[in-house]
Amino acid sequence: MVRGSDNGSEKMAEGDNSAELLKEKANQYFKEKDYENAIKYYSEALELNPTNAIYYSNRSLAYLRTECYGYALADATKALEIDKNYIKGYYRRATSNMALGKFKAALKDYETVVRVRPNDKDARMKYQECNKIVKQKAFERAIASDETKKSVVDSLDIENMTIEDDYAGPKLENGKVTLAFMKEMMDWFEDQKKLHRKCAYQILVQVKEVLSKLPSLIEIALKETEKITICGDTHGQYYDLLNIFKLNGLPSETNPYLFNGDFVDRGSFSLEVILTLFGFKLLYPDNFHLLRGNHETDNMNQMYGFEGEVKAKYTAQMFQLFSEVFQWLPLAQCINNKVLVMHGGLFSEDGVTLEDLRKIERNRQPPDSGPMCDLLWSDPQPQNGRSISKRGVSCQFGPDVTERFLNQNKLDFIVRSHEVKAEGYEVTHSGKCITVFSAPNYCDQMGNKGAYIHLRGSDLKPEFHQFTAVPHPNVKPMAYANTLMQMGLM
């Protein structure tokens, strides 16, 4: 009996040792920023020792780095179930909730940390920052009234804004965007110079008017000889956007583009990206298309940098106008009645039709569920059916879900973005679900390629074009992000 007990103890010790070796291997991958392999080996360590809070906490951080906030939240919660005194678990869970815009839940965990460590300056700073956001949100809800809310446009007097004599940058010609203006503005931005606020406001007011007249589902027809270029997330990587135009040509009536959301946040040149894209939308309204991503929303902009960037380079008022404009971005685009493009993906329930998408009232912040939320947030998965989202919002959908949706709506395939891919694109669900991502070396650390897609009217067969990151000025990603996200994620 004693010998058997010894053998059992030895096996447990061997299992613990093996788990520790796997954890060390995962830690090394994490240091090398290979988060997928880090997650893999933390998971293997947990299979051998499923009661180790540290393994769950470490994997939670790796999930945070890959934007799998739902999984990160679950792991942090599990770590705390195993050891309620494990302080890092509270930090991880708070960061996960912050990333999901669940500020009250995050505040509760920061309160716990401060209570346990009253002299921890970092913990107290995070608690105060989070508390400030919770109070700000409560104030905004208290004064919000859709009936009385006025547009920023109503309070602007653009005509009487003075352009100072020492401003040598681009100006709209008689208040209109021209190709010459666009070329001059792109060069100006490339030199890290700021567009005059009058010009920025002119662009925003005009593009709001253009977007507000569009339907939620854009439908276009390509002739046999025509092609369109579809780009995925650009995330404030302005110099990579310029590279796309260098490789593929400037937008024009004969070189149409579709940019599939997530123009801003994370990258620290988001203003330059979005003003360039809005300028081309004004120049070629029927040949340059923009769809909304999950980062064209207030919560994401508050956490991931765009709000901070606009306030740093211009004003809080200008950010409010950006927020208004983002709400008018269309949600999906159908090409030749055969290809549907959206930022996120398909739906939490079967039976959604193109007609349902046409009827979406989009001029709002996205809801937590339903078709509008899914269009911005969902992701494909390899197995059939649906599962809880790794992001903590919307769902993951399998090849059978894609097949049923395409059959019901007489479509051939979908194109979506929303996820970093090592090659810049990925083809899944037997060719019926294509992901394209156009921010190479995402956040200056992922090492991924970027890609864009050509679709031709003759056959709608996707042609993939890959590219690598180009140098940019020494401004780090997330430079304008909320300090809680900078510390929690970067």
Strand order in the sheet with 463-467: 288-290, 257-259, 227-231, 450-456, 463-467
Average pLDDT for residues 202-209, to the nearest whole number? 98
Q: What is the pLDDT of residue 49?
A: 95
Q: What is the pLDDT of residue 282?
A: 98
Q: Which positions are catalytic?
A: 295
Residue type at position 240? D
CB half-sphere exposure, 209, CA atoms < 13 A: 7
In the three-class reduction of DSSP (H, G, I as helix; E, B as strand; rest coil), residue 99 is classed as helix
Q: For the chain, what is the mean pLDDT?
A: 93
- pLDDT for 392 beyond 70: yes
Q: What is the pLDDT of residue 142?
A: 77
- pLDDT for 326 beyond 70: yes
Q: What is the pLDDT of residue 486?
A: 57
Average pLDDT for residues 330-349, to the nearest whole number? 98
Structure tokens belonging to residue 251: 């937008």
**In angstroms, rounded to a whole number, what is the distance separating the alpha carbons of residues 162 and 261?**
33
Domains of the chain: 7-141 (1.25.40.10), 153-485 (3.60.21.10)
List 176's β-bridge partners, or say none: 173
123 or 340, which is more confident = 340
Strand order in the sheet with 413-416: 217-220, 332-335, 339-342, 413-416, 433-436, 425-428
Q: What is the pLDDT of residue 7?
A: 60
**In angstroms, rounded to a whole number, what is the distance separating the alpha carbons of residues 313 and 192?**
11
Q: List, for residues 10-69, the tens digit of each pLDDT value.
A: 655 666 789 999 999 999 999 988 899 999 999 999 999 999 999 999 999 999 988 899
**Please, which pLDDT band fits residue 488 given cuts at 50, 70 and 90?**
very low
Q: What is the pLDDT of residue 137?
A: 83
Average pLDDT for residues 456-470, to the nearest whole number? 98
List 229's β-bridge partners, or say none: 257, 454
**In angstroms, rounded to a whole number, what is the distance separating the alpha carbons of residues 476 and 444?**
8
Average pLDDT for residues 278-299, to the nearest whole number? 97
**In angstroms, rounded to a whole number, what is the distance separating the alpha carbons of residues 363 and 416?**
21
Q: List, for residues 113-168, the tens digit of each pLDDT value.
A: 999 999 988 889 889 989 998 998 888 777 765 545 789 999 999 999 999 999 99
Instruction: List phi, psi (to 5°) of 406.
Output: -65, -45
**In angstroms, rounded to a whole number, what is the distance separating the alpha carbons of residues 323 and 328?**
9
Rg from Cα positions in the chain? 24
Q: What is the pTM of this model?
A: 0.92
Pairing of strands 386-388, 395-397: antiparallel
Question: What is the DSSP track for 105-169?
Answer: HHHHHHHHHHHH-TT-HHHHHHHHHHHHHHHHHHHHHHH--TTTPPPGGGG--GGG----TT--S
List 258's β-bridge partners, or say none: 230, 289
Q: What is the pLDDT of residue 4?
A: 52
Return the H-helix or E-strand segment holding 37: helix 35-48
Mean pLDDT check: name the lowest of 116-130, 169-183, 190-204.
116-130
Residue type at position 400? D
**In angstroms, rounded to a whole number, what is the distance separating the alpha carbons of residues 78 and 412?**
41
Average pLDDT for residues 65-74, to the nearest whole number? 93
**Please, which pLDDT band fits residue 487 given cuts at 50, 70 and 90?**
very low
Average pLDDT for residues 423-434, to the nearest whole number? 98
Residue type at position 383? Q
**In angstroms, rounded to a whole number, what is the distance separating the alpha carbons of residues 190 and 78?**
46
